[in-house]
Amino acid sequence: MRRKTILKHTPNVLQSKSRGVKDKGKGILPRKVKQPSKSTIKKRAWDAFSKFIRTRDCLRTTGCADWGLCITCSRRYHIKLLQAGHFIPGRHNANLFSEKGCHAQCYNCNINLRGNTLEYRRKIIEMYGDGYDEVLETENREIKKYSVEDLTNLEKQYKIEVEKLVKGHYE
């Protein structure tokens, strides 16, 4: 006969490791499902956004969804070796999900060279026009707060966008 490990004892409820909550009079009740924290949902939204940015830039620079060029050094890398690097350093809410302020960068440019800011600024001006770098800097000063619902919607939106990019490219 197997022994139960009792974690918690209250007058009418026993909880064991192997099963849900056992109420003496009603049998086994299912465990409560723990809701993910806001930071977990934010990470999921960021992962979807990062995948979108890297896929978008791979298709834009090489025409292939698996290989792309770093925006700052123009070297070719596999999508898994690229990162979604921000033009404005720091991942504040105001610029965290900025599509025009975030592009595919290699590890060396994004981390070791701290964004390779001078070259990144040149590329932003070349891509979006003179003065757009200042627009991004102004946007960064805004205060944005995301609710759990906003972050969940962003995650769904960017997953759909990635599917559209890949599907549209290979049709």
Tens digit of each residue's pLDDT (9 = 90 or more) over 21-33: 555 666 677 788 8
Longest CA span, the chain: 77
Q: Are 110 and 85 in contact (CB under 8 A)?
A: yes
1, 9 contact by CB (below 8 A): no
- Average pLDDT for residues 164-171, to the nearest whole number? 82
CA distances from 72 to 55, 133, 144, 152 (A): 17, 15, 28, 31
Hey, which residues does 102 pair with through a beta bridge?
86
113 pLDDT above the threshold of 60: yes
What pLDDT score does 24 carry? 60
Q: Is the pLDDT of residue 171 over 90?
A: no
Asked whether residue 6 carries a pLDDT value surpassing 70, the answer given is no
User: Span 16-45, mean pLDDT?
Assistant: 76
Residue 39 to residues 48, 147, 148, 156, 163, Cα–Cα distance (Å): 14, 11, 9, 16, 25
List Cβ neighbours of 51 (8 Å cut-off, separation of 6 or more). Answer: 158, 159, 162
Only one residue has tokens 């981390």, namely 111
Kindly indicate the confidence band of residue 168, based on its pLDDT and cuts at 50, 70 and 90. Answer: confident
What is d(CA 132, CA 125) in angstroms, rounded to the nearest whole number?
6
- Segments making up each domain of the chain, as ranges: 1-34, 45-154+161-170
Nearest by Cα to 116 from 81, 54, 73, 68:
73
Residue 7 has pLDDT above 70, yes or no: no
**Which residue, chain included where needed, has tokens 């099963």?**
19
Find tokens 């995301």 and name the residue. Answer: 146
Mean pLDDT for the chain overall:
87
